[in-house]
Amino acid sequence: MSRFYPAPPDLNRAPVVSGEMSDEINAPDALDGQIAPGSVEVTAGETGAVCIALIGEHDLGTRKDVEPPLHSATLGDDGVVVDLTRTTFLDSTILHVLVSGDATLRDRGRRLVLVVPADGVARRALEISGLAETIACCHTIEQAAELA
């Protein structure tokens, strides 16, 4: 049984990341404002949950960019949202980082919630690995923030 939470009709739109704090990792100026493959965007949401967006391709080479912000977020007082809607590749290294973050949060009585598109590589990776059954997944950032 999948733990994806369907979006209500009025929220069935592209997620918008908003908040007070924003930090982009690996976003070179050479791309004219576009975010490079394998980048990480960290945003403190209005609800208190930190949102970490994994943008582009993520594997062993980007683990060093994904793990520190996720670890830092798990040390806070709120849950953590990881946005995978703009992820174009995800390997087992990054899945392991997500599992570790989820375990840390569960030990602290909080939760990791993933924002996953209805189709695409992120959803497929989570379904194949079985993580869609163990980590809460939503289709919108708003839903994820409520669950986190």
Mean pLDDT of all residues belonging to the chain: 80
Q: Which domains does the chain have, with CATH numbers?
A: 37-147 (3.30.750.24)
pLDDT digits (tens, 9 = 90+) for 30-89: 445 555 568 999 998 777 889 999 999 999 999 999 999 999 999 989 999 999 999 999
pTM for this predicted structure: 0.75
Q: What pLDDT score was predicted for residue 34?
A: 56
pLDDT of residue 56: 95
> Within 10 A of 118 (CB to CB), how many other CB atoms are there?
11
